[in-house]
Chain A
Amino acid sequence: MSFAKIPKSDQLISINYAPPKTAWMETPVDFRPGTWSYSGVAKNLTYLDLPNPRAWQPADVDWKLPENWQAIILEGMKERLEKYRSFRLFMDVCVRCGACADKCHFYIGSGDPKNMPVLRAELLRSVYRRYFTTTGKLFGKLAGARDLTIDVLKEWFYYFYQCTECRRCSVFCPYGIDQAEITMMGRELLNLVGCNINWVIEPAANCFRTGNHLGIQPGGVKDMLEFMADDIFDRTGVRVDVPINKKGADILFVTPSGDYFADPGTYTCMGYMMLFHEIGLNYTFSTYASEGGNFGLFTSHEMVKRLNAKIYAEAKRLGVKWILGGECGHMWRVIHQYMDTMNGPADFLEEPVSPITGTRFENAKSTKMVHIAEFTADLIQNGKLKLDPRRNDHLKITYHDSCNPARGMGLLEEPRFIIQNACNHFYEMAEDTIREKTLCCGAGAGLGNDENMETRMRGGMPRAMAVKQVKEKHGVNRLACICAIDRATLTSIMDYWVPGVKVMGVHELLANALIMKGEKERTTDLRGEPLAGC
């Protein structure tokens, strides 16, 4: 794999917000290395029955599109305009007030005007006007309309794969226009002619086949979980169970595969396992539904449904009562806003009740899936966990609200409640950068690959700088989050912009503090780093 050279952080921060001299319709896209992702590999497209599998790269002149690609895209647009009110409305009502413009982390970090949500949407809107509105058909450019050319398609590709679907713009838009919705449509259209990126399509293909994005086969899942159980034993002296594909469990636990694949996600996963052991939860992992994340969300609504289907199917097969979900961002967008509609109703499951506290999770009574932060917050509130926050005294924590749980769900206080009970040093970042105004990690929606590194560093800059501020003010050295992609990508962002700050899941923090029955005296945290005073 070849990596483009990224400028040093002090160079990257000098951002020019002055728009180019040429009008945006006359400014062609420049596929500069480091700012785009490699194309989807043919075998992955074939595995998922997606159209036009072939060898190509975005920087190529010839994209090897089907002869009638324009007709395919326009037909696809027509279909989607009829199926989604969001799409039609968001094509129509924008007044170009520009309130969204400097809300996008990619715009803040790059100064590229086409990263302003309004202009990113106009890339698609201009084509919509040309082919689907009377004024556009009559007045063309004067009405903001333009033909669908190969350059326009390339522009779509570049900028729709430079949006992380984080929805921050939608918070500020007076009409609630959601660029995530427009990007999703744009990507669906691109997929119709076989233009997608491998970092999305390979995980999707893997997930379809093996049950998880990383393509880990059943034995691999078991190995990794058992390996973590050994690590837990090393740190705590407690041997935890690793229930997998267990029929008759009360609860199916689904988490993103990032949690059991690589550091620092693994520590979060260890946290879950320790917690479940301590409270004696009758739960099971599944190898078939071994992925909470859903890269279908970055492909098409159909793919979301295809990949998500296995969660309910597995819950039914194993005969569990309800489902518990781990820490993940876009996974929860899918679970919260799509799963029940797409693959429900889950009438074979019970309304979720915590077997430990008896709390009925009324807010999940239809979908029957509870977020682990809700579950754990309830345990703490009911005094079911013994916590020693001093075990986190070597850490100074700040908390990053992951985009989707914040803006597609509103899970803001539960993780904070856990953090506040699990540590003594917690500092919030600036008001404009947290909760519903949280800034993205810059690498969600399938953009967290290495060839796209410059764009990632630019997109992650606003978040990183907010961390830097609390680092300088309070000596923060740990960034907590509830998202597997965050754990992977914010780590690179921190190394680049704010060296010295490491990233962790909230349940890793909790597990550090969790006093377990029969544990030995702990001298290190889950990472093996010495505790304060040890």
Chain B
Amino acid sequence: MPMKNIGLSIVAVVILLAISGLAAVKEWHAFLTIFPYAAFIIFLAGFIYRVVKWWTTPVPFRIPTTCGQQKSLPWIKSNPVENPANLWGVIRRMAQEIFLFRSLFRNTEVEIIDGRPVYGSAKWLWFFGLLFHWSFLIIVLRHLRFFVEPIAQWISVLSALDGFFEIGIPTLYLSDAAILAGLTFLFLRRVVLPRVRYISLFTDYFSLLLIVAVVSTGILMRHFFPTDLNEVKNIALGWLTLTPVVPQGVSVVFYMHLCFVCTLLAWFPASKLMHAGGVFMSPTRNLANSNRMKRHVNPWNGPVKVHTYEEYEDEFRDKMKAVGLPVDKE
């Protein structure tokens, strides 16, 4: 089953590759006009739908997972970030979580050594996870140069920094190398570690391979099969101004790159990749541990059947009187 999942996800990516190749050869213009719109609309609508769905589902109880000392007596030093007592603390906690993957940084790996579990440090997942996500962000931001005319200065600065070492022509972007390293680690880890392979679904491999495909076609286009970037920018601006143009002379690899990007966009809202939106909404992280200070209201809190003191005393009155316990009704 796990091997089947890996195989099927490779097959899926190859099929996409074939389709886009065919589209390039046959010059299916819809591929450059209708498909990107469709994908983007699915992405946007889907993303919003999912987030709104979570957002509108009530949070009946305030259930933060506390990872540090609570705020209690004034002379006991509390941990305002890992156990936030107010909104500011929550913002700091969430910022650490989102920008630095704080929780993943805690990761350990257990091994039985000399008949005892030993908890070794295991920061690789954190490191490569962070590497992947940050390079992904930088790459997306760099791509804005295709959608903005004239190119905003910060995009140029970002690109210059990203290509700081000026290796090769055109310059190798560090983020390209980093994202490949991150993806390779994440994929190999999933395939090689028996435990992770055991829990992996088809969708886990597919999500990774899809991004691998996006990245590799992008790098191929930049370094090995150059395409006319002005033409690409024309296409991009055409989408933006709702006047899609039918391009001349973009390479096959561009078709492939675009195909994978569109698939990724359309796939995103239906998949686990939605953790990108969900991470903001986790009630174990984004609530202050102010439970006993400030009452949290459950919107659907309703009456339940309870056993009242009166019912209790009615049952045990004689016994209570017999041992000299006070009763309300003699």
Stretch at the interface among B222-230, B251-259, B315-323: B315-323
Whether B101 and A174, one on each chain, are in contact in the complex, defined by CB atoms closer than 8 angstroms, is yes
Enumerate chain A residues within 8 angstroms of B298, measured Cβ to Cβ. Answer: 341-342
Enumerate chain B residues within 8 angstroms of A22, measured Cβ to Cβ. Answer: 1
Q: Give residues of chain A (87-131) contacting chain B, Cβ–Cβ below 8 Å.
A: 88-89, 92-99, 101-103, 108, 113, 116, 118-119, 122
Enumerate chain B residues within 8 angstroms of A85, measured Cβ to Cβ. Answer: 54, 57-59, 281, 283
- Say how far B306's CB is from chain A's closest CB, in angstroms: 4
Whether B104 and A96, one on each chain, are in contact in the complex, defined by CB atoms closer than 8 angstroms, is no
Q: How many A-B residue pairs have CB under 8 A?
A: 312
B168 within 8 A of A: no
Please measure, in the bound complex, the distance between the C-alpha atom of A468 and the C-alpha atom of B115, giving whole angstroms.
11
The answer to whether A219 and B323 touch (CB under 8 A), given A97-B129, A309-B304, A432-B108, is yes
- Say how far A100's CB is from chain B's closest CB, in angstroms: 10
A499 within 8 A of B: no
Q: Which of B69, B73, B204, B296 contacts A341 (CB 8 A)?
A: B296
Whether A86 and B70, one on each chain, are in contact in the complex, defined by CB atoms closer than 8 angstroms, is no
Enumerate chain A residues within 8 angstroms of B300, measured Cβ to Cβ. Answer: 83
Grouping DSSP codes into helix (H, G, I), strand (E, B) and loop, the B interface class, with mixed when no group exceeds half, is loop
Question: A141-180 CB contact bits vs B (8 Å, 1 = yes)?
Answer: 0111000000000000000000000010011111111100
- Say how far A436's CB is from chain B's closest CB, in angstroms: 4
Whether B103 and A173, one on each chain, are in contact in the complex, defined by CB atoms closer than 8 angstroms, is yes
Stretch at the interface among B75-83, B136-144, B156-164: B75-83
The answer to whether A24 and B119 touch (CB under 8 A), given A363-B71, A407-B66, is no
Question: B13-55 CB contact bits vs A (8 Å, 1 = yes)?
Answer: 0000000000000000000000000000000000000100110
Q: Which of B301, B308, B322 contacts A342 (CB 8 A)?
A: B301
A465 and chain B: residue at smallest CB distance: B116
Stretch at the interface among B145-153, B172-180, B190-198, B235-243: B190-198
- Say how far A164's CB is from chain B's closest CB, in angstroms: 15
A222 within 8 A of B: yes
Whether B63 and A408, one on each chain, are in contact in the complex, defined by CB atoms closer than 8 angstroms, is yes
Please measure, in the bound complex, the distance between the C-alpha atom of A465 and the C-alpha atom of B82, giving whole angstroms.
27
Enumerate chain A residues within 8 angstroms of B329, measured Cβ to Cβ. Answer: none
The answer to whether A172 and B272 touch (CB under 8 A), given A98-B195, A101-B199, A465-B116, is no
Whether A175 and B66, one on each chain, are in contact in the complex, defined by CB atoms closer than 8 angstroms, is no
Enumerate chain B residues within 8 angstroms of A406, measured Cβ to Cβ. Answer: 66
Question: B259-294 CB contact bits vs A (8 Å, 1 = yes)?
Answer: 000000000001110110011011111000101111
Please measure, in the bound complex, the distance between the C-alpha atom of A407 and the C-alpha atom of B83, giving whole angstroms.
9
Enumerate chain B residues within 8 angstroms of A345, measured Cβ to Cβ. Answer: 295
The answer to whether A366 and B104 touch (CB under 8 A), given A108-B110, A407-B65, is no
A selection of 22 A-B contacts at a CB cut-off of 8 Å is: A10-B115, A96-B196, A135-B270, A170-B284, A175-B279, A218-B320, A218-B323, A222-B324, A306-B305, A310-B309, A338-B61, A340-B295, A341-B60, A365-B292, A367-B292, A406-B66, A408-B65, A408-B66, A409-B66, A410-B78, A413-B77, A468-B116
Whether B320 and A174, one on each chain, are in contact in the complex, defined by CB atoms closer than 8 angstroms, is no
- Say how far A206's CB is from chain B's closest CB, in angstroms: 11
B249 within 8 A of A: no
Q: Which of B61, B69, B272, B324 contacts A94 (CB 8 A)?
A: B272
Please measure, in the bound complex, the distance between the C-alpha atom of A461 and the C-alpha atom of B112, giving whole angstroms.
11
Please measure, in the bound complex, the distance between the C-alpha atom of A436 and the C-alpha atom of B81, giving whole angstroms.
14
A217 within 8 A of B: yes
Stretch at the interface among A66-74, A242-250, A504-512, A515-523: A242-250
The answer to whether A95 and B199 touch (CB under 8 A), given A84-B58, A217-B319, is no
A223 and chain B: residue at smallest CB distance: B323
B75 and chain A: residue at smallest CB distance: A381
How many A residues are at the interface, by size bracket? 35 or more
A487 within 8 A of B: no
Q: Which of A25, A89, A177, A222 contacts B54 (CB 8 A)?
A: A89
Please measure, in the bound complex, the distance between the C-alpha atom of A19 and the C-alpha atom of B103, giving whole angstroms.
26
Enumerate chain A residues within 8 angstroms of B272, measured Cβ to Cβ. Answer: 92-96
* The 4 nearest A-B residue pairs measured at CB: A410-B70, A23-B1, A93-B278, A410-B66
Q: Give residues of chain A (358-410) contacting chain B, Cβ–Cβ below 8 Å.
A: 359, 361-367, 369, 374, 377-378, 381, 406-410
Please measure, in the bound complex, the distance between the C-alpha atom of A182 and the C-alpha atom of B66, giving whole angstroms.
18
Pick from B60, B291, B297 the residue with the most CB of A within 10 Å: B291
Q: Which of A306, A377, A410 contacts B79 (CB 8 A)?
A: A410
Question: A305-325 CB contact bits vs B (8 Å, 1 = yes)?
Answer: 110011001100100000000
A210-B316, A340-B295, A345-B295 given; 6 more Cβ-contact pairs under 8 Å: A93-B282, A99-B125, A171-B67, A176-B284, A209-B307, A362-B293
A1 within 8 A of B: no
Whether A288 and B312, one on each chain, are in contact in the complex, defined by CB atoms closer than 8 angstroms, is yes
